Amino acid sequence: MIGFGPHLMVDGYDANYEVLASVEAVTNFLDELPKEIGMTKIMPPYVFKYDGGDKPEDWGVSGFVIIAESHISVHTFPEKGYFSIDIFSCKDFDVDRAIEIIKEYFGTERLEIKQTERGSEFPRDIRIATSITNAQRNRLI
């Protein structure tokens, strides 16, 4: 098998203001989601509130958690009812389950969902990596 893994990108609209505005809620989400989708959390979530800078209405909560398989990140904009979530993994996961958890946790059905496969040339199998490397070396000779 070749390829690094799936990257799920979710944009949510009309989400629950209290969840979007809460460092604790976003922390809990990032703390529990890895286990729920079969990932391995390797550090506690890092979550913080930001003030929006030049646009005060853009304040919100951002956070991420590093998982053995890669990472999960969340950015919220409570005044706009919006959030974005990225789940990037080097192994397959139940995308439909992740989307259901996101809908329920953030209280919205209005999601924009994109998924892509990352690292299409990343060799997961050492035998494949060896054959690719040998083929490249032969071109240099």
Query: How does pLDDT run across 10-40, given as a tens digit for each residue?
Result: 999 999 999 999 999 999 999 999 999 999 9
Catalytic residue among 7, 62, 70, 89: 70
Q: Report the pLDDT value the prediction gives residue 29, as an integer from 0 to 100.
A: 98
Among 92, 98, 85, 101, which Cα is nearest to 69's?
92
pLDDT (tens digit, 9 = 90+) per residue, 79-89? 999 999 999 98
Low-confidence ranges of the chain (pLDDT < 50): 1
Q: Is 71 a residue of the active site?
A: no
Phi-psi region of 63 (alpha: psi -120 to 50; beta: other; left: phi over 0): beta
Q: Report the pLDDT value the prediction gives residue 4, as an integer from 0 to 100.
A: 64
Catalytic residue among 22, 71, 75, 131: 75
Q: Is 62 a residue of the active site?
A: no
Catalytic residue among 22, 71, 90, 131: 90
Domain 5-140 bears CATH identifier 3.60.90.10 = yes
Q: Name the helix (H) or strand (E) containing 84.
A: strand 82-89
Output the pTM of the full model: 0.82
Q: Report the pLDDT value the prediction gives residue 1, as an integer from 0 to 100.
A: 44
Q: Is 75 a residue of the active site?
A: yes
Domain ranges in the chain are 5-140
